[in-house]
Structure 1
Amino acid sequence: MEILSLWAQIGAVVVLLLISGFFSISETAMMALNRHRLKDLVIKGVIGAKTTQYLLAHTNQLLCVILIGNNLMNVIIPVLTTSIALRAFHNHSAVLSITTGIVAFLIIVFAEITPKIVGATYPEKIALPASLIIKPLITIARPLVWFINILVNSILFILHINMNRGRDLRMSNEEWRSVILESSNFIPSKHRSILLNLFNLESISVDDVMTPRQRIESLDLDVPFDQLVKQLETCYHNQLIVYQGDIDRVLGMLHVRKTLAALQNQKFGREKLRELLVEPYFVPSGTPVFQQLQYFQENQNRIALVVNEYGEVQGLVTLKDIIDELIGEFTITLPRMASGAVDGWNAQGECIVTGGISLRELNRRLSLRLPLDGPKTLNGLILELLETIPEADVSMVINGTRIQVMQIDNQAIRTVKLFRPTQLDTV
């Protein structure tokens, strides 16, 4: 009978170790579970998902039951083990010391470390079934849980610890950006790029994506009428800015297709052209791109003129410019030479571009690292660096990119040659 009792106590120790391991593995799996994934499982009606969601919404009760159960098992196990040692080997100090070491080892390995590793590795597979067991335990132990929670809340109140403050923490844009960058195994690269660009919209303005004043295709109402007609018939855009004498004196926006259709009328003249003008839409320089996107949506506009504090036209921004910034260039409305677009590196690792090209476009199309916190164009960047209008054939290196000025036009740089950065250039 004593032998049977001894084996019964050993069996009880094993069972208690398993129960303690169950509480440890459940706690880790519950805390490691993806909340967004859990919501999807609840919608799909997966067994245990709704119960798990309920438990995570009452974390204080969940942790209270798990910790009570786990610590209770870890207290009983040494008591039983000591009893077994005393019964088998009598009161021997060396045996008791060895037994204590063995019990500590078993608890650490089988009731703590191993269950927690497994729980963190397979949170979904473990948390959902475990919730079906833990929830009834919470119901049974409700009076004890209530008493302990009252005691804990009282201690937190005395220590001036506000639990609600911790729950109100929100992730910053940089934290979200880190989450997206680390999700390469789950989000396709193109989707990840769009999400990152979406965060960038908060930090850039319309000045970064607009077509500069010098590159705006516009219509001067003071030129001879036959020249107006010729420009309308050969323009690349569906809408043109119409001004009188100076582009800062904007009269309105002209719909090219409607105007070409009206040209069939022999009585069509300047006054008729004026009647077809639509009131222009102006936005101040420095307007955030994301805010401008909302303005386009609210005003049902697709084109806006960017003006400075003096009312002078700085450039033109369109809905397409913002979308291109978000998802990359996807439509071609101009021949490449007319739009000043970048063709990419040639076989010699060189690329010839215009001085007025946007630095953001160069960085995006050629994978460069030209600074964006100053001038918006390549011409402006070179002039800022040299602090003078350079002569042709002047070369320089900016952030690892070698730049050679090829042509100067009046007071601006007309043509620039870029050289593909190499490891030697970036050192």
Structure 2
Amino acid sequence: MPALQYWSFLVAIGVLVIAGGIFAGLTIGLMSLDETNLAILKLSGTVEEKAWAARIEPIRRNGHLLLVTLLLANTVINETLPVLMHSLKWDGYKAVLISTALIVVFGEIIPQAICARYGLQVGAFFAYPVRILIWVVYIIAYPIARLLDWILGHKHGVIYRRSELKELMALHGEDQEGPLTKDEVSVLRAVLELRDKSVLNVMTSLEHVFMLPLETKLDRPTMENIMKAGHSRVPIYASDRGCIIGVVLVKQLIINDPDDAIPLSDIKIRRLPRVTARIPLFEMLHVFEQGGSHMAVVYDSLPGQTEQPGESSRNGEALARIVQPTWTYASPRQADSSGGNVLGIVTLEDIIEELLGEEVRILGSTLRACVRVYMEITGRL
């Protein structure tokens, strides 16, 4: 064999090994990037990552067509190598050993190791050549890809279940060098668990609720008790603690002179929403989002409620089914007796504490400070 032809075959073998390695690496790199990964990178990645994801997304959208194209190209190359080596008049065992070493080391192990780590960058670099290759083998690859779509389905990306997301967050929290702190992971996991918890899990039971009877007079002992309680809102009841008629805001009370002993019945009382203990916390959070109140009375049952736990209640019609009545700034004088037994109260702070995993004290401390300053100024403390 002439020397020129011999070296031409060697160069061709080297080119084929490199090409086979590229196709093998792209198979790992591109197929490991599903549409969910690419969508996330396009929305929240760096400028370079957004550009890389935008290049890859068109060819990755039809995953089976891409897979068949890369495997066809790699198979053709692997089958061509022995033919070229045979043309060099190498012995059988020699050709087998050399081709195996070249394919395994340079055509499989090294490219796949690189692309498994840098799949996004390598995939973006070869995105346009791969697109051309898809059209070259389209007549053969398309029917096979369609058959795979029919048998296996067209996969659009990984969608994690709630439990999987929780464990994913936990793994991020365990990684010391991860992008999320333990507090961030704790809050994220608490948000995912919020749907499985009801008002009953976080409410304050009736016997532990600080409240005042309607006939109370706002004298100095009463104001001191309110200050010590440290709440921003105080429920008001009529005949007994189970007859809650509404709530007063503490910031409305501190402007009154304790020496006047103004009856609580003369203060504007805001009616509270009524909910049942089985309402999921997410639904309760939607109630508080309406902005009318940060407190609700919890009943064991209410007439006409059809909302089931876990259903979405973002629309006004659904909220109307789980909250009775709507908020009003009237001054009620008796409790609505159309519901069941009062179990306690739930506040927005209760839900926030469930999310944070610790008690929220800032607001109560601020109110106590305001009341203390006022009473010091008036010389009554």
State the TM-score, normalizing by the size of structure 1.
0.66
Match of 1:182 in 2: 171
Greater share of strand: 1
Match of 1:251 in 2: 245
Match of 1:70 in 2: 74
Match of 2:352 in 1: 323
Superposition deviation, residue 54 in structure 1: 1.4
Matches of 1:67 and 1:333, distance apart in 2: 63
Matches of 1:47 and 1:225, distance apart in 2: 66
Specify which structure has the bigger relative contact order, considering alpha-carbon pairs within 8 angstroms and separated by 6 or more residues: 2
Superposition deviation, residue 264 in structure 1: 7.2
**Which runs of 5 or more structure 2 residues have no equivalent in the other structure?**
302-338, 369-381
Any conservation in 1 of the 2:68–2:144 contact (CA below 8 Å)? Answer: no
Superposition deviation, residue 147 in structure 1: 4.1
- For these two proteins, the number of residue pairs brought into alignment is 319
For residues 135-174 of structure 1, what are the structure 2 equivalents within 5 Å?
A: 135-139=131-135, 141=136, 144-153=137-146, 155-156=147-148, 161=151, 163-164=153-154, 166-167=155-156, 170-174=159-163
Any conservation in 2 of the 1:209–1:317 contact (CA below 8 Å)? Answer: yes
Assess, with a 3 A threshold, how the Cα gap between structure 1 residues 270 and 103 changes in structure 2: closer, same or farther: closer
1:295 to 267, 287, 290: 287
Match of 1:197 in 2: 190
Match of 2:213 in 1: 220
Superposition deviation, residue 137 in structure 1: 2.7
Matches of 2:117 and 2:248, distance apart in 1: 62
Deviations 1:166-222 (A, max 9, x none): 448632111111222223312222221211111111121112222222221000235
Match of 1:23 in 2: 23
1:132 to 98, 122, 128: 128
Instruction: Judge which range, 257-266 or 293-302, deviates more.
Output: 257-266
Superposition deviation, residue 53 in structure 1: 1.8
> What letter corresponds to residue 354 of structure 2 in structure 1?
E
Matches of 2:29 and 2:104, distance apart in 1: 18
Any conservation in 2 of the 1:38–1:53 contact (CA below 8 Å)? Answer: no
For residues 272-351 of structure 1, what are the structure 2 equivalents within 5 Å?
A: 272-273=266-267, 276-298=268-290, 300-309=292-301, 311-329=340-358, 330-334=360-364
Helix, strand or coil at the partner of 1:97:
helix
Match of 2:379 in 1: none
Any conservation in 1 of the 2:204–2:344 contact (CA below 8 Å)? Answer: yes
Any conservation in 1 of the 2:41–2:49 contact (CA below 8 Å)? Answer: no
Assess, with a 3 A threshold, how the Cα gap between structure 1 residues 83 and 301 changes in structure 2: closer, same or farther: same
Deviations 1:238-264 (A, max 9, x none): 211111231111121112332343457
Any conservation in 2 of the 1:206–1:287 contact (CA below 8 Å)? Answer: yes
Assess, with a 3 A threshold, how the Cα gap between structure 1 residues 298 and 190 changes in structure 2: closer, same or farther: same
Any conservation in 1 of the 2:197–2:280 contact (CA below 8 Å)? Answer: yes
Matches of 2:206 and 2:258, distance apart in 1: 32
Match of 2:334 in 1: none
Superposition deviation, residue 301 in structure 1: 1.9
> What letter corresponds to residue 18 of structure 1 in structure 2?
I
**Which runs of 5 or more structure 1 residues have no equivalent in the other structure?**
89-94, 339-427
Any conservation in 1 of the 2:25–2:114 contact (CA below 8 Å)? Answer: yes
2:112 to 102, 116, 125: 116
Superposition deviation, residue 71 in structure 1: 1.0
Assess, with a 3 A threshold, how the Cα gap between structure 1 residues 163 and 138 changes in structure 2: closer, same or farther: same
Identity %: 23
Deviations 1:63-119 (A, max 9, x none): 2331221111111001111221xx25xxxxxx3134224322321222122211111
Helix, strand or coil at the partner of 1:248:
coil
Assess, with a 3 A threshold, how the Cα gap between structure 1 residues 53 and 233 changes in structure 2: closer, same or farther: closer
Matches of 2:166 and 2:234, distance apart in 1: 39
1:58 to 62, 65, 72: 62
Matches of 2:99 and 2:193, distance apart in 1: 56
